[in-house]
C-alpha cells in the first residue's frame, strides 16, 4: 500500500475521515494518518470544512485541495493558439489566445506558448513553483511516448521536434503532448459527458480524425495514430487524389477543402471550410446538399467504427460540425442503416457541446490526470521524504 492508494480515494473530491480511509484501503489507522500527513504536506489534500478541529485535535475530514496546484492547457490549431490556466478540478482561471499559423514553425509558436504560460501565471497570481504540468494539443500525428510530432502534414519544420524539451527549458514540469482530436475527446468527455465511458469524437475540418475513449480510457494505439480516419478508403472517393499521396481517402471527398472544391465545381464560389459553413447557414441549396453527402461519406467510416469499438456516444466536432444538422443527418442516415442493430440500439450521435473549447479543456484534463496519477503522487512523496 502506497500514499497514492489513499490519494486515489480522495481524488473523488468528497470529504473522507481517517477511519473511512482505513476501512476502504484495509490499512491500519496509524498508516493512514502518515499517508494523509504526506498528502497534506504536498498540499494536495486539505482539511475539509471546519470539521471537528476544536481543542487542538487534528481535523477529521479531508478532501482533494484543487487550488493546491495549477496546470496550463494549450490548443495549437492550424491558424490560432489558445492557452488556459486551470486548477486541479479543471476550473479555468484565465485564458489567452493569438492568431498564429502553425506553419511559422516550432520556435515562433512555442515561443508564444512560453510567454503565455508566464502571462497566465502572473494574471492568476500564481508562482512558477505552483505549476504542476503543461498539456498541449497539436494539429498532427504525435508519437505519444516522446511527445514528438511525426511527419505532420500542415506543420512544416515540426517533424520529430522535441516539443516537451523546448517547453521544459523554461518550465521544469511534465509536458504532455497529444494530437488535437484526442484532446478534444478528453475535453468533451470531461466537460459534458463525464458518465460516458465509451465515446468517439469525430473531428471534421481541414482534416478528419477520431479520438476514441473506450472503457473510460483514451485509446492511442501502439504509436499514437489510433483513430486516424481521414485516410480510410471510401467508395465515392475512388480515383480522387488525396494530400497524403494515395487516392480514395475519406478526406479527399468529405474534408473542408474537398467540400469547397465540390461547390466551385457547381459554380458556387468557396475557398475554405468556413465558406462552406457560411453558405449552409445562408441556406444555399447546393451547399446543403454537398454537406449532407459529406455526412454520408463520413457515416460510411463511422458505421465501421461503431461495429469495431461499440461506443455509446458519437460526438461530431470540428469546423464543419458548425454547419449544424445537415452533416449529422447524413452521418446518422448511414450509421443507423449500416451498423449492427445491437451496436446502434442505444447509440447517440450528437454535435459537440464544448465546440472550440474542447481542445483546451482536453489539454487541461490530460495535465491534471498526469499530476494526480499514482506515479506522480509516489514520486512527489519520495521527493518529500528525501528532503526530510
Ligand atoms: Zn489520404
Give the rounded percent of residues in the chain with a pLDDT score beyond 90: 71
| Ligand 1 centroid to residue 207 C-alpha, Å | 10
Task: Using pLDDT thresholds of 50, 70 and 90, give the confidence band for residue 206.
Answer: confident
- E-strand spans in the chain? 16-17, 45-47, 61-64, 70-76, 80-87, 92-99, 131-138, 142-143, 148-149, 175-179, 199-204, 208-214, 217-218, 313-317, 348-351
**What is the average pLDDT across 285-306?**
96
| Ligand 1 centroid to residue 138 C-alpha, Å | 19
Please determine, for residue 8, whether its predicted confidence score (pLDDT) is greater than 80: yes
Gap between the Cα atoms of 344 and 302, Å rounded: 12
pLDDT at 58: 58
Please determine, for residue 101, whether its predicted confidence score (pLDDT) is greater than 70: yes
Please determine, for residue 141, whether its predicted confidence score (pLDDT) is greater than 70: yes
**What is the average pLDDT across 190-208?**
94
| CB 72 within 8 Å of CB 84 | yes
| Ligand 1 centroid to residue 122 C-alpha, Å | 44
**What is the average pLDDT across 6-17?**
86
pLDDT at 244: 85
pLDDT at 1: 55
| Ligand 1 centroid to residue 229 C-alpha, Å | 9
49 CB-near residues (< 8 Å, 6+ apart)? 15, 61
pLDDT at 70: 97
| Ligand 1 centroid to residue 141 C-alpha, Å | 14
pLDDT at 239: 94
| Ligand 1 centroid to residue 35 C-alpha, Å | 52
| Ligand 1 centroid to residue 325 C-alpha, Å | 26
Evaluated on CA atoms 292, 293, 294, 295, the torsion sign reads: positive
Q: Tell if the pTM clears 0.85, that is, is over it.
A: yes
pLDDT at 225: 86
| Ligand 1 centroid to residue 322 C-alpha, Å | 23
pLDDT at 56: 58
| Ligand 1 centroid to residue 291 C-alpha, Å | 19
Determine whether 60 is exposed, middle or buried from the number of CB atoms within 10 Å of its CB (0-12, 13-18, 19+): middle
| Ligand 1 centroid to residue 351 C-alpha, Å | 25
Give the rounded percent of residues in the chain with a pLDDT score beyond 70: 97
**What is the average pLDDT across 159-183?**
97
| Ligand 1 centroid to residue 326 C-alpha, Å | 24
- Concatenated DSSP letters for 369-388? HHHTSHHHHHHHHHHHHHT-
| Ligand 1 centroid to residue 273 C-alpha, Å | 18
| Ligand 1 centroid to residue 224 C-alpha, Å | 18
| Ligand 1 centroid to residue 156 C-alpha, Å | 18
| Ligand 1 centroid to residue 246 C-alpha, Å | 5
Gap between the Cα atoms of 139 and 78, Å rounded: 6
What stretches of 282-351 show up as alpha helix (H) in DSSP?
A: 285-309, 325-338, 341-344
| Ligand 1 centroid to residue 231 C-alpha, Å | 4
**Alpha-carbon separation of residue 43 from 50, 129, 265, 273 (angstroms):** 17, 12, 61, 47
Please determine, for residue 368, whether its predicted confidence score (pLDDT) is greater than 90: yes
| Ligand 1 centroid to residue 140 C-alpha, Å | 14
pLDDT tens digits, residue range 31-46? 888 888 888 988 899 9
| Ligand 1 centroid to residue 257 C-alpha, Å | 13
The overall average pLDDT reported for the chain is 92
Amino acid at each position: 500500500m502506497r500514499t497514492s492508494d489513499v490519494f486515489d480515494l480522495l481524488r473523488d473530491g468528497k470529504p473522507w475521515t481517517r477511519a473511512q480511509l482505513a476501512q476502504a484501503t484495509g490499512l491500519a489507522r496509524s498508516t493512514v494518518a502518515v499517508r494523509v500527513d504526506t498528502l497534506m504536506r504536498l498540499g494536495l489534500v486539505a482539511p475539509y470544512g471546519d470539521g471537528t478541529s476544536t481543542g487542538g485535535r487534528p481535523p477529521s475530514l479531508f478532501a482533494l485541495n484543487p487550488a493546491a496546484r495549477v496546470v496550463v492547457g494549450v490548443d495549437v490549431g492550424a491558424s490560432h493558439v489558445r492557452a488556459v490556466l486551470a486548477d486541479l478540478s479543471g476550473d479555468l482561471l484565465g485564458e489567452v489566445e493569438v492568431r498564429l499559423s502553425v506553419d511559422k514553425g516550432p520556435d515562433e509558436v512555442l515561443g508564444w506558448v512560453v510567454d503565455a504560460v508566464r502571462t497566465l501565471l502572473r494574471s492568476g497570481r500564481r508562482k512558477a513553483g505552483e505549476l504542476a504540468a503543461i498539456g498541449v494539443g497539436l494539429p498532427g500525428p504525435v508519437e505519444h511516448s516522446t511527445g514528438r510530432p511525426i511527419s505532420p502534414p500542415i506543420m512544416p519544420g515540426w517533424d520529430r521536434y522535441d516539443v516537451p524539451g523546448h517547453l521544459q527549458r523554461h518550465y521544469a514540469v511534465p509536458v504532455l503532448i497529444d494530437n488535437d482530436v484526442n484532446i478534444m475527446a478528453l475535453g468533451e468527455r470531461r466537460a459534458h459527458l463525464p458518465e460516458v465511458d465509451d465515446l468517439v469524437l469525430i473531428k471534421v475540418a481541414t482534416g478528419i480524425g477520431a479520438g476514441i475513449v473506450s472503457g473510460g480510457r483514451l485509446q492511442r494505439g501502439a504509436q499514437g495514430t489510433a483513430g486516424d480516419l481521414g485516410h480510410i478508403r471510401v467508395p465515392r472517393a475512388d480515383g480522387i487524389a488525396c494530400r497524403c499521396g494515395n487516392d480514395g481517402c475519406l478526406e479527399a471527398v468529405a474534408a473542408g477543402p474537398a467540400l469547397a472544391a465540390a461547390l466551385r465545381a457547381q459554380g458556387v464560389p468557396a475557398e475554405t471550410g468556413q465558406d462552406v459553413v457560411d453558405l449552409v447557414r445562408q441556406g444555399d441549396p447546393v451547399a446543403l446538399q454537398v454537406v449532407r453527402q459529406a455526412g454520408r461519406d463520413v457515416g460510411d467510416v463511422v458505421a465501421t467504427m461503431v461495429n469495431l469499438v461499440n461506443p455509446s456516444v458519437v460526438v461530431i466536432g470540428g469546423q464543419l460540425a458548425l454547419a449544424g444538422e445537415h452533416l449529422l443527418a447524413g452521418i446518422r442516415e448511414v450509421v443507423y442503416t449500416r451498423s449492427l442493430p445491437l451496436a446502434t440500439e442505444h447509440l447517440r450521435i450528437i454535435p459537440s457541446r464544448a465546440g472550440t473549447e474542447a481542445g483546451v479543456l482536453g489539454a487541461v484534463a490530460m495535465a491534471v490526470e498526469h499530476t494526480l496519477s499514482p506515479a506522480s503522487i509516489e514520486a512527489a512523496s519520495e521527493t518529500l521524504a528525501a528532503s526530510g
